[in-house]
Amino acid sequence: MAFVLLTLEMLARLLGLIRAYGGGARLVLREAPKVTLIPKSTIRVSVESSLVGALYDCAAKAGGSTSEEEYDSDGNLSLSITCETSVVDNLRERLTDATRGSVVFRSDNDDY
């Protein structure tokens, strides 16, 4: 009988702790700032120097940011464009149209 009483007492204490900490956890979660995560992808492209403006224009219209800009000895520009994953296909089409098919898509792409 003493074993059952001790177990019930421990259970009552445990339930009290669960109620106390559970309410605190709920309050913290309710008050915490919400963050929306949007999947992004990075594509690597190259264009000849005369098409650099079109490249930056397409990136901006897609809401993308550019990085890792590198010019080669012929003046061609290679860079990375990071944008929402949902607009990557549209960006590729825009780049192809704006450069009349001369854009080169590199294979070192990342999704995050």
Q: Which run of H or of E encompasses 79?
A: strand 77-84
20-38 mean pLDDT: 81
User: What pLDDT digit, counting tens, does each position of 53-104 carry?
Assistant: 999 999 999 999 999 999 999 989 999 999 999 999 999 999 999 999 999 9
CATH number corresponding to 40-111: 3.30.70.240
Residue 112: its pLDDT value, please?
Answer: 47
Give the whole-angstrom CA distance, residue 97 versus residue 93.
Answer: 6
Residue 1: its pLDDT value, please?
Answer: 52
Taking the domains of the chain in order of start, what are their residue ranges? 1-34, 40-111
Residue 56: its pLDDT value, please?
Answer: 95
